[in-house]
Each structure stands twice: as structure tokens, then as C-alpha cells.
């Protein structure tokens, strides 16, 4: 199958640097605000802090504005996760839930700067949460599985189904199925660097990024491709070159955990844009990463 269009070209080295820079900025934001979180703070306060921090650091647009989820909201349990109102899940919007000791949290932000966009997910807890620790440890397997299957040019739906099976084996709910269109990942495109200091957002989503995504949905449909990567038939195609924001989100009872980062897909290879991300550093610190694998 060689149906890559110019729209789905592998990014240049310069573009990769640009995407890496914004992804690092986004993770720095999450780590900074994560460290500032204190019991009593609401999701909205945390999300607002992230937004301010990012704007202060030169962010000029969004894929989506920052989200923050606390406690059982990290697991999207119950009715909020149910069928997502046809792709639109109001449970995403930060609410008035207050953080408590031992409560897991997820910070998720997707800023754009100079035309480059990141989409990251970061989780943590004030104090200790054994379930969260376990989920975060197990998330390593998903990172390795996804990139290795994409390298084998497995169809994206197959990769997503393999993730579903891994969830089943682990005993976790694949909570990314509560995301719009049950996506495990979505494409991220380079935008024009128009020099503007800010751009239009609608319902917390950046208009330019969403427009790119919608255009892509429409344009690649006739080729049997989709910029939305799920277990469904719409993703029954080989990986398309470009950048994919991959976000496996696991849930176990009341606790959810995720990471999200950009996967670079080229014509014949795939790799994570950056290995210097908090969750990888965490696995290293806990001795979970096999050094041979790291080198490979």
C-alpha cells in the first residue's frame, strides 16, 4: 500500500526539532505545575495555571487548552465515559473537584508555538498511590509495544487492538476509549508560522489544529486512511508518515494513568520523538528500563 500523499510526508529534521522543543516545553509546564499542586486546589485552578505558564512561555495556539483531572476523574468511570455524546465528552473539561492527599491527577496540555504543536499527558499524586504507581509502571509495556508494531507496519487498528488485548491481560480498562472517537492517537500537523501572538480557540480547542484534523479526515477518507487512530475499521491501514500524538490511558477501578507523546512515523520506520520525557525518566529511575533495549 503506497498511498501516502504529500499531506502525509515524514517530517524534516528541522520540523522534528521544532516539535521536540514544544513537547519539552509542554512537559516542563506539566512538571512545574504538578510540583505546585496542593491539596484543596481545583481542576480548573490547575488547568488555569498551566495555561498561564504556557502563555508566559510564548505559546500562541492550542490543539486543546490544558485539562486537569483529579481523583476518580482520571479513570473516566461511569456515565461520563459512556458513548461520549458522539465523540464529544464533556467530562474532559476541568471541573471543581479538589485535590486531596493520595489522589491521582492527570495534567494534559497541547500547546502550539511557531506552528509546532505538542500534546502531552502527565500523571502524578500528592503523597502515594500504589495503584497509580502500578499503572505508571505498566505503561512502559505499551510504549514499547506500540512503537514496535508500528515499525512492523502493522495496520493502526491492529496496533490499537493489540493495546486493547494488553489492557485485558493486565486487567485494565483502556480508558482512551472515552476519548472522542475512542482514539488511541491522533495526528498532529505543522501549522503556518504566521507570527501572530494568539489564535482562535473554540470550546478550548484550537481552531487551526482542529481544522487541520477535519480537513485530513475528509481528504484521506477516499484513500481509506484516517488521522484518528482507534481499534475500528477506519484505522485499518498502515501507519501514515507524520506525527502522531499517542495517548494510551489505563484505568483500574478509580485510578487512571496515561502518558501522551509524539510518535514519528517515516516511510519505513517509527520512533518516539523524544526519550527525555518524565515517564521514561521515571522508569529509568525505578530500574524498569532494560539498558540494552534503551540502546537499541
Partner 1 sequence: MALEPVRVVASGEVELAVYEWGTPGGKPTVVLVHGYPDAASIWSTVAEGLAERHHVIAYDVRGAGRSSVPDHTQAYDLDHLVADLAAVVDAMSPAQPVHLICHDWGSIQSWEAVTTERMAGQIASYTTISGPSLDHAAYWILQRLKSGSPDQMAQVARQIAHSWYVGMLHLPAVAPTLWKAGLDKLWPGLLEKLDGVRPEASDSQRKDGANGVNLYRANFAKRLLKPGERRTDIPVQLIVPRKDKFMVAEIWDDLPQWVPNLWRREADAGHWIQASHPQLVIDWASEFIDHVEGAEETPALARARLHAREARSGRISDRQRGRLVVVTGAGSGFGRETALLFAEHGADVICVDLNLEAAERTVELVRLLGAQAWARKVDVGNVEQMEVLADWVEADFGAPDIVVNNAGIGVAGSFFDTSDADWEKVLRVNLWGVIHGSKLFGRQMIKAGRRGHIVNVSSMGGFTPSKFMSAYNTSKAAVMMLSDCLRAELADKGIHVATICPGLSITNITQSTRFVGLDAQAEAEKQARATKLYQRRNLTPDKIANAILDAVENRRDEVPVGAEAQGARMISRLFPKLSRGLARLDLLP
252 binds partner 1 (CB under 8 A): yes
Phi/psi for 119 (5° steps) reads -145, 110
> How many residues touch partner 1 (CB under 8 A)?
9
**Contact present, 106 and 257 (Cβ < 8 Å):** yes
179 binds partner 1 (CB under 8 A): no
| Selected binder of partner 1 within 5, 52, 148, 168 (CB under 8 A) | 168
Q: How far is the CB of 129 from partner 1 (least distance, A)?
A: 8
The DSSP annotation for 166-198 comes to: HHHHHT-EEGGGGSGGG-SEEEE-PPP----S-
* CB under 8 A, 24+ apart: contacts of 138-144: 138/170, 138/172, 138/250, 139/248, 139/250, 139/257, 139/258, 139/259, 139/279, 140/279, 140/283, 140/288, 140/289, 141/166, 141/170, 142/166, 142/248, 142/250, 143/248, 143/259, 143/272, 143/279, 143/280, 144/293
131 binds partner 1 (CB under 8 A): yes
Q: Within the chain, how many helices (H) and strands (E) appear?
A: 8, 14
Closer by beta carbon to partner 1, 44 or else 134: 134
| Selected binder of partner 1 within 170, 199, 232, 281 (CB under 8 A) | 170
Closer by beta carbon to partner 1, 21 or else 131: 131
Q: How far is the CB of 169 from partner 1 (least distance, A)?
A: 7
**Contact present, 111 and 230 (Cβ < 8 Å):** no
Stretch that binds partner 1, among 17-25, 61-69, 118-126, 166-174 (CB under 8 A): 166-174
134 binds partner 1 (CB under 8 A): yes
| Selected binder of partner 1 within 40, 86, 127, 171 (CB under 8 A) | 171
Closer by beta carbon to partner 1, 77 or else 208: 77
Q: How far is the CB of 82 from partner 1 (least distance, A)?
A: 10
CA distance 102 to 277: 23
Residue with cell 529509568: 284
| Selected binder of partner 1 within 56, 96, 169, 202 (CB under 8 A) | 169
Q: How far is the CB of 160 from partner 1 (least distance, A)?
A: 14
253 binds partner 1 (CB under 8 A): yes
Residue numbers at the binding site for partner 1 (CB under 8 A):
130-131, 134, 168-171, 252-253
Amino acid at each position: 500500500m503506497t498511498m501516502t500523499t504529500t499531506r502525509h510526508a515524514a517530517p524534516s529534521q528541522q520540523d522534528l526539532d521544532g516539535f521536540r522543543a514544544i513537547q519539552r516545553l509542554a512537559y516542563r509546564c506539566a512538571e512545574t505545575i504538578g510540583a505546585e499542586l496542593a491539596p484543596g486546589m481545583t481542576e480548573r485552578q490547575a488547568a488555569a495555571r498551566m495555561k498561564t505558564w504556557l502563555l508566559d512561555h510564548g505559546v500562541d495556539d492550542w490543539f486543546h487548552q490544558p485539562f486537569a483531572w483529579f481523583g476518580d476523574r482520571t479513570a473516566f468511570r461511569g456515565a461520563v465515559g459512556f458513548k461520549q455524546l458522539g465523540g464529544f465528552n464533556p467530562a474532559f473539561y476541568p471541573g471543581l473537584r479538589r485535590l486531596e492527599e493520595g489522589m491521582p491527577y492527570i495534567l494534559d496540555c497541547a500547546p502550539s508555538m511557531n506552528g509546532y504543536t505538542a500534546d502531552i499527558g502527565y500523571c502524578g499524586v500528592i503523597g502515594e498511590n500504589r495503584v497509580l504507581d502500578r499503572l505508571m509502571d505498566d505503561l512502559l509495556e505499551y510504549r514499547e509495544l506500540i512503537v514496535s508494531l508500528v515499525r512492523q507496519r502493522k495496520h493502526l487498528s491492529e496496533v490499537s487492538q493489540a493495546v486493547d488485548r494488553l489492557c485485558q491481560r493486565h486487567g485494565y480498562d483502556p480508558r482512551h476509549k472515552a476519548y472522542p472517537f475512542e482514539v488511541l492517537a491522533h495526528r498532529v500537523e505543522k501549522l503556518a508560522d504566521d507570527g501572530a501572538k494568539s489564535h482562535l480557540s473554540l470550546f478550548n480547542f484550537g481552531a487551526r489544529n482542529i481544522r487541520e484534523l477535519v480537513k485530513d479526515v475528509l481528504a484521506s477518507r477516499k484513500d481509506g486512511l484516517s488521522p484518528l487512530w482507534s481499534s475500528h475499521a477506519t484505522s485499518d491501514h498502515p501507519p501514515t508518515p507524520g506525527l502522531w500524538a499517542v495517548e494510551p490511558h489505563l484505568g483500574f477501578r478509580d485510578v487512571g494513568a496515561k502518558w501522551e507523546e509524539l510518535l514519528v512515523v517515516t516511510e519505513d520506520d517509527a520512533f518516539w520523538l523524544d526519550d527525555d520525557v518524565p515517564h521514561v525518566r521515571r522508569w529509568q529511575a525505578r530500574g524498569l528500563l532494560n539498558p540494552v533495549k534503551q540502546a537499541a
